[in-house]
Amino acid sequence: MIYHSAVLAYVAPEQRGHFAATVRRLDASWLSNEAPGILPGIAVPEHDGESFVLVLDGTHALALTDGHGTWIDWLS
């Protein structure tokens, strides 16, 4: 399991896709919790502007979250 929260904002935008491709090649599940638009290619549902997005394996959003883990709103 690979998990990170609010990390990719510190990676140059042009390098985020490379990071995602590298992690996808690993034999592991990947959960990222980042601000909307940080992880490339993820459709972000309507949100309040304060939410983070929990993404599985860099492919689809699972939930909107608080960046510090206070709450989670699962998507259907």
Model-level pTM? 0.87
**pLDDT for the residue 46:** 76
CA distance 30 to 7: 13
Residues 6+ apart with CB under 8 A from 19: 8, 11
Least confident of 5-9, 39-43, 57-61, 71-75: 39-43
CA distance 62 to 72: 10
Q: Across-strand partners of 33?
A: 5, 54
pLDDT at 9 over 90: yes
CA distance 54 to 22: 19
Residue 73 has phi, psi (to 5 degrees) of -120, 100
**pLDDT for the residue 43:** 83
Q: What is the pLDDT of residues 19-65, one digit of tens each?
A: 999 999 999 999 999 998 898 888 887 777 789 999 999 999 999 99
